Chains A and B, each alone.
Chain A
Amino acid sequence: MKHGKPFAVVMFAVLLVAAPLFLNAYQVDVLNSIGLYGLLALGLNLILGEAGLFNMGHAAFYAVGAYTAAILNTRYQIPILWTLPLSGLTAGLFALAVARPVVHLRGDYLLIVTIGVGEIVRIALVNDIFGMTGGANGIFGISRPQLFGIVIRRPQEFFYLIWGCVALTIFLFLRLKQSRFGRALNYLREDEVAAEGSGINTAYYKLAAFGLGAAWAGMAGTLFAAKMTIISPESFNFWESVVLFMIVILGGAGNIVGVLLAAFLVIGLPELFREFASARMLVFGLVMVVMMVFRPQGLLPAGGGRFSPVTLARGRG
């Protein structure tokens, strides 16, 4: 991001910050959706993009976070934003528990298991597990979030909350990428045997990737619950996991800017073409096919760019 990366990124950021000033409520709400999917996709990117672990059940972690927040808020009157760390923790621990026995599975096998986990969670929620999730109707009456004494209710206000979280996530994940932890995930993706053979505890890092990516999904779940005030199992179905998977692959697995760009395209474009209602999914599918044929590595593929000649000089001495 730092070293002479396109001017376009900065311009885009400025434009985005000012967006609520010249967009209507509906348009801002679309941006909010993009932000939420962006957060989820950045979390999934750690698992799928950086570590190369096929996870097609990310919506399960999203659901665990959203329900944790909703239950804590509606039953115990804990302010919704306060539940952020706890939702993240719950989703993270849940991910560790389910990933522990299956994470050694390779590629497509892991994919199938994670699809299963996603479905199990959704069905458990429909069946009103622990008598706390409200079944198919879900949970309603989640209170509005409050930040610095301001009650957040309008899309414009949510916009700054959500995109503030996205900005913080980008900042933290870029730092993570530039570290021992971030590199370890990449070693895992590139060659697991060589990674283990270079002294990296691959089993640990696989779990850590799942835990952290899921924790982020959990926190995104809190924001979702706060935004909707009603949550139900249908918000966390298989299609959500597929869309997130698609965003990461389309954007360029392991590339933060690429993933956000893909979130704009995958979530934003169908909204733009709402007039064509019935045809838009067709067009969308066509675009995906063309994309996979001509640019399978994604819009902005990862790779290189972690160190510049400038940072190299720091290592001297």
Chain B
Amino acid sequence: MMEAPSGVPGRSAATATPLLTLQELTKTFGGLTAVDAVSFAVEEGSVIGLIGPNGAGKTTVFNLITGNYRPDRGRIEFAGTSLAGLRTHRIIALGIARTFQNIRLFQRLTVLENVLAGCHYQMRGGILAAMLRLPFQRREENDAMGRALKELEFVGLRQQALTLAKNLAYGDQRRLEIARALATRPRLLVLDEPAGGMNEQETEALIGLIARIRERGITILLIEHDMRLVMRACEKLVVLENGGKIAEGSPEQVRRDPKVIEAYLGTEDEA
């Protein structure tokens, strides 16, 4: 239903207010400023990459967006709503879903149960409804299972629905996390190193998966070190170093930016 802006930077930004806006976002841990006055916007329907050397503060930005940390200063606005002070599960219900850098699945539960977690907040049956098996409760349980299976089909894990999450191959665990995130019906999907630990074929498949998620009208913000993936999947990149934003633009622009080159390769006199 939503037409993806095909790699034309600025187009969607000109037409509508961005889906997600970060303004002067700052977070310190003790004496360390992990995120330093970072501002950028994520236009609806786009795929945006957040890159930078290790320790640049990328994951901290994600944790600020999803409410795992509270910012010391700055604002985060999602679809016109301020996320200030909201607990994580409320932010998820607003339409932001995420995956984790160091895979966080429910290890001893089945693949299907993992995905059903994403359906949770859209259901309402409580203790009594479950004990009495009220008609609405049965219906919503069946609906949720149907949707969970569809998401598993979408990421290609339908056959493993009854496998325990811990028994999945590494790449499959990453895809399961994506399926669980998709089950929350997000408008914005935040992926933290989705290709981490994947081999070449798995990364290739992931690029395809990201394209298909985007076709569903879901906006994607991702952290990634795999530059092939970033260059091919993203239309805009935001570069962080030491907590601060040093560049923003199309992959082409960013690749040629001297500051970015310096951040990644170091300056000559340093060596």
Contact = CB atoms under 8 A, between A and B. Distances in A.
Contacts of B164: 303-304
B142 A304 contact: no
A291 B105 CA distance: 29
A200 B141 CA distance: 16
Contacts of B108: 190, 302-304
A201 B97 CA distance: 15
A203 B109 CA distance: 21
Contact of A186 (B105, B106, B129, B133): B106
Interface stretch (A95-103, A275-283, A308-316): A308-316
Interface in B107-141: 107-110, 112-113, 116-118, 120-121, 123, 125-127, 129-131, 133, 137, 140-141
B93 A199 contact: yes
Given A176-B127, A200-B117, A312 B162 contact: yes
B216 interface: no
B74 to A, nearest CB: 21
Which of B105, B123, B145, B161 is most buried by chain A, counting CB atoms within 10 A of its CB? B145
A304 B125 contact: no
Interface in A132-152: none
A179 B141 contact: yes
B242 interface: no
A192 to B, nearest CB: 10
A314 B142 contact: yes
Q: How large is the interface on A (under 10, 10 to 19, 20 to 34, 35 or more residues)?
A: 35 or more
Interface residues of B, number: 47
Contacts of B141: 178-180
Contacts of B123: 180
Which secondary structure characterizes the binding site on chain B?
A: helix
Contact of B120 (A175, A198, A317): A198
B228 interface: no
B130 A195 contact: no
Contact of B126 (A181, A190, A307, A312): A181
Contacts of B117: 183, 187, 194-195, 198-200
Interface string B78-93: 0000000001110011
A166 B141 CA distance: 26
Given A180-B130, A193-B68, A307-B112, A314 B145 contact: yes
Contact of B149 (A179, A203, A212, A315): A315
Contacts of B98: 197
B36 to A, nearest CB: 25
A172 B129 CA distance: 11
A161 to B, nearest CB: 20
A128 B66 CA distance: 49
B39 to A, nearest CB: 24
A199 B113 contact: no
B120 A316 contact: no
B68 A199 contact: no
B90 to A, nearest CB: 8
B20 interface: no
What 3 pairs between A and B have smallest CB-CB spacing? A315-B145, A179-B130, A199-B121
Given A197-B92, A198-B118, A201-B87, 20 more contacts: A175-B133, A176-B130, A178-B141, A180-B130, A181-B130, A186-B109, A191-B105, A193-B68, A197-B104, A198-B117, A199-B92, A199-B118, A200-B89, A202-B89, A212-B127, A304-B110, A307-B161, A314-B145, A315-B146, A317-B146
16 contacts: A175-B130, A175-B133, A179-B130, A180-B123, A183-B109, A183-B113, A194-B104, A194-B117, A197-B68, A197-B100, A198-B181, A200-B117, A201-B89, A202-B89, A302-B108, A315-B149
Interface of B: 66, 68, 87-89, 92-93, 97-98, 100, 104-110, 112-113, 116-118, 120-121, 123, 125-127, 129-131, 133, 137, 140-142, 144-146, 148-149, 161-162, 164, 180-181, 184
